[in-house]
Chain A
Amino acid sequence: EAGVVQSPRYKIIEKKQPVAFWCNPISGHNTLYWYLQNLGQGPELLIRYENEEAVDDSQLPKDRFSAERLKGVDSTLKIQPAELGDSAVYLCASSSGQGAQNEQYFGPGTRLTVT
């Protein structure tokens, strides 16, 4: 069974440019998460989807970040415009539910460098 797929793995852009990250969760997983991981820190939740509905986007900086999961399967996270402080690893994870018994499976992440 394929794991969580993310692309690209690495992205380098200049500040003020837009960037998009794509995630394909494990087949059948209805819960999808986007996390931000700064160097030397643990992941911080940006947004959580239950199917196509964003049920927790309280930590998403909505002035420049947006996300969508139109058909409840794969998802895209966008930043426009990017700032220097957005340099980080963006992680996608999925689970078959949201309860304590439902393990989150993580993708390898996209490392973004904003110059």
Chain B
Amino acid sequence: GDSVTQMEGPVTLSEEAFLTINCTYTATGYPSLFWYVQYPGEGLQLLLKATKADDKGSNKGFEATYRKETTSFHLEKGSVQVSDSAVYFCALLLRTGGFKTIFGAGTRLFVKA
């Protein structure tokens, strides 16, 4: 069935380190792909998205490229800050049979000063 797989956390990095959080998906058709972020005590909020193959989503220094050939949408940031500590969710939006969003399990990121 349709699913999203994220790398397990927690991921612990020092400030200014490079971040990669892996995300792969299984889906029929051509889904849109998203990264959501959840800061402590807050609701999920959209970080970035890509709606077709080879699109690159970017926001707040984060980037992810929709790779259809590897069914991946890895999240990257060149230099993380303490304020980036949060849980990151990869998600896909299916259009077949009505619109449905499927989320990954989330990856917790801790950034140390």
Contacts and interface: CB of A to CB of B under 8 A. Distances in A.
A98 B99 contact: yes
Contact of A100 (B4, B43, B89, B95): B95
A43 interface: yes
A51 B48 CA distance: 26
Interface in A23-49: 40-45
B83 interface: no
Interface string A53-73: 001100000000000000000
Contact of A108 (B36, B42, B93, B100): B42
B20 interface: no
B98 A56 contact: yes
Interface string B2-45: 00100000000000000000000000000010001000011111
Given A98-B99, A100-B95, A91 B106 contact: no
A24 B91 CA distance: 24
Give the size category of A's interface with B.
Answer: 20 to 34
B46 interface: yes
Contacts of A99: 99
A8 interface: no
B51 interface: yes
Nearest to B94: A100
Contact of B100 (A40, A41, A45, A109): A45
Interface string A74-115: 000000000000000001010000111101111111000000
Contacts of A44: 103
Given A104-B46, A108-B41, A108-B42, A43 B103 contact: yes
Interface of B: 4, 32, 36, 41-46, 49, 51, 89, 91, 93, 95, 98-101, 103-106
21 contacts: A3-B43, A41-B106, A42-B4, A42-B91, A42-B106, A43-B44, A43-B89, A43-B103, A44-B103, A45-B100, A45-B101, A98-B98, A98-B99, A100-B32, A100-B49, A103-B49, A105-B43, A105-B45, A108-B41, A108-B42, A108-B43
